[in-house]
Chain A
Amino acid sequence: MGRDLRSAGTIGAVLGDGPPSGTEKDVMQGILSAAGYVPYRRLDRSAIAETFGSGGGRGTRAVAGYDEDTTTLGVEAARLALRAVPDTPAQVLWFSTVAPAYLDKTNATTIHAALRLDTDVVAADFGGAIRSGVAALGTALHTTTPTLVVTADIRDGLPTSADESAGGDAAAAILVGPDSAGPLIATLVGEGHTTEEFIDRWRVPGERRSKVWEERFGETKYVPLGEQAWNTALKDAELSPDQLDRVIVTGSHGRAVRALIARLGVDKARVVDDLSGSVGFTGAAHPGLLLTTALETAAPGQTIALVSLADGADVLVLRTTDALPGWTSPRTVATQIEAGATLPYGKFLNWRGMVSVEPPRRPEPDRISASVTGRTEHWKYGFVGSKDRASDALHLPPARVSRVGDGVDDMADAPMADVPGTIAAFTIDRIAYSPSPPIVFAIVDFDGGGRLPVELTDVNADELKVGDRVEMTFRRLFAADGVQNYFWKARPIRG
């Protein structure tokens, strides 16, 4: 089943990594784990036309919380992907998005910190274009080090635009690597890629919206490019269309995607739901998200083709392995889609910065201190407390002096990000500053010890009660002077 991934015509050939060219060594490469993250809120598309008289459509789209950005979405997907394979450490982290929280500064380092990866793990961004997501995945499949490919996007458009309603917010994290790193749940068996320069969709840096050319023009470009890559990939995999069990077709040009599907020679029943009716098209994250859904529902020994149209075409053909049943997603994409809750359109427009509402009459928070943050990185980003070795007393945030007994500097790290908790008390603060008031705050008692008063998110305050179970989630509390203030909040456990 293995193949020489360094043969000409693959992305790996361009990288030039691994053994010198000319060796015949087969490297078994594939997917070690995968997860998607779909934020809690949904916009019912019918609300758009109800408000503006035009736009919208059927179904829903996923909406990132006001306290989420592409980095936090990526963290949540990555946590799920790594939780499924706790013994397989990532040695490289790549992050891809069209909507980065920072330019100049790497965003993957924030994810690196939240995942508490070792200092010698490389973290880098693959940013800018929609295609960078699938390109990062395809490239990682040619490296010999376990690489976590995190893709996330928040898709914006002006009110009533097609991008507003057809877009969605989500993240996907795919851990790829050699079989020496752990059981591969799927291996790469073929691929094809095409590239062409043409103007179909573009966005000036700093703009919140993209612009598009008349879509019939793009269709004439994308369909042949897709067919060419498809044929190359099937030939590479030595498969015919009818041998494919699942086919994923996605892309930045919806009309071209639909036209291409009709030309692939694949039974429509085998085409994977592109989640356009529930989540929407999630840009750089979408190929990874759909691949995850396919893996979560696949059987061993099935072939999955992933076709992505963005400034060319990328086709990856994978085959699931006998290790697939031994891999279980901690929370499937389907579960997360099911758990979503509707967000009023007005809130959506406010959260996206399309409509400003009267802010709370409190001072805005100050910029956080880089040096203080530098000292507390493990707490702030990794949610690591400390546990007094003598008394077992847990300290959140970590402390040097124990609150029980007389211990000083006798603490062990207490990583708490994956420890669930229970609400001991809660309150709704209608006067404190928040980008989306009111703040819902709870005293959370963690399983096995430890307490923290912490903000809740993804919560409907009127449904909350003492004793509810919560989990920690990585969020952006606010930004000041362009500095993103990331920390953890608690949210109800759903699914």
Chain B
Amino acid sequence: MGSHGIKDQVAIVGMGCTRFGEHWNKGADDLLIESTTDALASAGIAKHDVDAFWLGTAMSGMSGMTLSRPLQLQNKPVTRVENFCATGSEALRNAAYAVASGAYDVAMAVGVEKVKDSGYQGLVGAGKTPTDGTNRTLTAAAMFAMCAPAYGHKYGVSDDQMREVLARISWKNHYNGARNPRAQFRKEVTMDTICGAPLMAGGLRVFDCSGVADGSAAAVLVRAEDAHRYTDRPLYVKALSFVAGNASGNADPDYDYTWFPEIHAAGLDAYAQAGVTDPRGQIAMAEVHDCFTPAELLIYEDLGFVERGTAWKEVLAGTFDLAGDLPVNPDGGLKSFGHPVGASGLRMFFESWLQLRGEAPEDRRITTASRGLGLTHNLGGFPGEMVSFVGIVGNELG
């Protein structure tokens, strides 16, 4: 028994990502065609060259035919996966294992979500399993809102300080997103605007919540030894870790909402797979699941970027800014890139694809790319009951 990972066995050799946003004139089919066409072009191959597909979508279709029909795939296996908001990274994880197993030479991971056809703001429509009516009906915003006062109480951060810390995270992600042509919100926002926005849940205001967008992203994966047949600058898979929590946080009085055990565990596993011993020093950039600003704050500590209880100071010091010591969400994150559930995990890999291969636009290029490792963290669920993915890719073998 053991989690060994597949370090350096699989490479990403092509990626595509649509603009994220309110695509009133595009359906899931259009978005899938767009992202996969770009990914195939990026790898220099045609759809018939792909041996198997993994499609991640949480609520935009059932079965692999959600992909095979619009792409008109002939006699190809397509696996539809769903794992809450970590659906996109789960598609990539499974495609990578299929290639590593030797079952297929070329696999594609695709994520898509069409969320703006429901008539409602926010995420609705997922999960229509018949119930006894006792299930919680709270929004994700309300659940994550509980983390901020809990963290503040534990580490002696006043409400005003916490407000500034959360706003600083939002400000950073908007700053980065403003420099990303694919982002949903391409505007810098002042701290005053963030702090004065309407309340949504608990102390969380509009700018503490990620954007809800339509979008799609895709990746082509091959065995590492084949990578240079497709590109001169492949990204090698260093680690893929996943933890599905047992939802005990909301049943266990010892859980204090100041950390996410599932993320901590997935991080440790990923670092072991990749041989990372000093995340802050070794990782060039991280894309983390900033669905709500308190999530990003706690993730810094769960992933070991900083000591527990210190992340809030590091935020204010600019550690995670684009030009900081460890840039986090250089593409704008869920906050300003938007969050098409099934696509977000792959969108996060797409930023490593751009940054570690020197393709990111100059005005949002990280200065730490020479470290060579990009981390993707993608979660689904709520504090106390979540699934968590941590993946690491690098631009060199070894």
Measured CB to CB, the residues of A under 8 A from B are: 361-363, 365-366, 368-369, 371-373, 375-376, 379-380, 393-397, 403, 424-434, 439, 441, 443, 445, 449-455, 466, 477-478, 485-487
A411 to chain B: closest CB distance in Å?
13
Leading 10 A-B pairs by shortest Cβ distance: A369-B130, A429-B142, A368-B133, A485-B133, A427-B202, A373-B132, A372-B132, A445-B253, A425-B146, A403-B248
Q: A362-B124, A363-B125, A450-B253 are in contact. Are A431 and B141 (CB under 8 A)?
A: yes
The answer to whether residues A379 and B149 also contact, given A430-B200, A432-B142, A449-B253 and a CB cut-off of 8 A, is no
B139 touches A432 (CB 8 A): yes
Whether, in the assembled complex, B136 has its beta carbon less than 8 Å from a beta carbon of chain A, the answer is yes
For residue B316, CB closer than 8 A to chain A, the reply is no
Contacting pair B251 A403 (CB below 8 A): yes
In contact, B251 and A428 (Cβ under 8 angstroms): no
B131 to chain A, nearest CB (A): 6
Contact between chains at B150 and A425 (CB < 8 Å): yes
Say whether B130 contacts A426, CB under 8 Å: no
Q: How far is the CB of B310 from chain A (nearest CB, A)?
A: 22
Q: Are B146 and A368 within 8 A (Cβ)?
A: no
Q: How far is the CA of A445 from the CA of B141 in the complex (A)?
A: 21
Interface residues of B, dominant DSSP = loop
Verify if B137 is at the interface (C-beta below 8 Å from A): yes
Q: Is B199 interfacial (CB-CB < 8 Å)?
A: yes
Bound complex: CA A439 to CA B131 (Å): 20
Whether B145 is near chain A, meaning CB under 8 Å from some CB there, is yes
Q: Annotate B250-271 by CB proximity to A: 1 below 8 A, 0 otherwise.
A: 1111010100000000000000
In the complex, chain B residues whose CB is within 8 Å of the CB of A427: 138, 142-143, 145-146, 201-202
CB-contact partner of A487 in B134, B145, B384, under 8 A: B134
Residues of B within 8 A of A430 (CB): 199-201
Size category of the B interface is 35 or more
Q: Which of B125, B130, B142 contacts A441 (CB 8 A)?
A: B142
* A residues near B146, Cβ cutoff 8 Å: 425-427, 443
CB contacts (< 8 Å) of B384 on chain A: these are 453
Taken together as a complex, chains A and B put the C-alpha atoms of A241 and B296 apart, in Å, by 76
Asked if A396 contacts B137 (CB within 8 A), the reply is no
B133:A403 contact, CB within 8 angstroms: no
Residues of B within 8 A of A478 (CB): 133
Chain A residues with Cβ below 8 Å from B137 are: 365, 432-434, 439, 455, 477
The digit string for B282-322, where 1 denotes a CB below 8 A from any CB of A, is: 00000000000000000000000000000000000000000
B125's nearest neighbour on chain A, judged by CB, is A363
Q: How far is the CA of A445 from the CA of B130 in the complex (A)?
A: 28
CB distance from B143 to the nearest CB of A (A): 7
Q: How far is the CB of B151 from chain A (nearest CB, A)?
A: 11
Q: Which residue of B lies closest to A372 (CB)?
A: B132
* CB-defined contacts of A466 to chain B, threshold 8 Å: 149, 153
User: Roughly how many angstroms separate A104 CA and B33 CA in the complex, as a whole number?
Assistant: 55
Chain B 112-143 against A: per-residue CB contact (8 Å), 1 yes, 0 no? Answer: 00000010111011001011111011110111
- 13 additional A-B residue pairs with CB within 8 Å, beyond A427-B146, A431-B200: A363-B118, A363-B125, A368-B132, A368-B133, A375-B132, A380-B134, A425-B150, A427-B138, A427-B143, A429-B142, A432-B201, A451-B250, A487-B133
Could you show 8 A-B contacts with beta carbons less than 8 Å apart?
A380-B132, A394-B251, A425-B146, A443-B250, A449-B253, A450-B251, A450-B253, A451-B250
Which residue, B125, B145, B251, has most C-beta atoms of chain A within 10 A?
B251
- In the complex the two chains form, what is the Cα distance from A54 to B246 in whole Å? 58
Residues of chain A within 8 A of B257, CB atoms compared: 425, 443
Whether the pair B251, A431 counts as a contact (CB closer than 8 A) is no
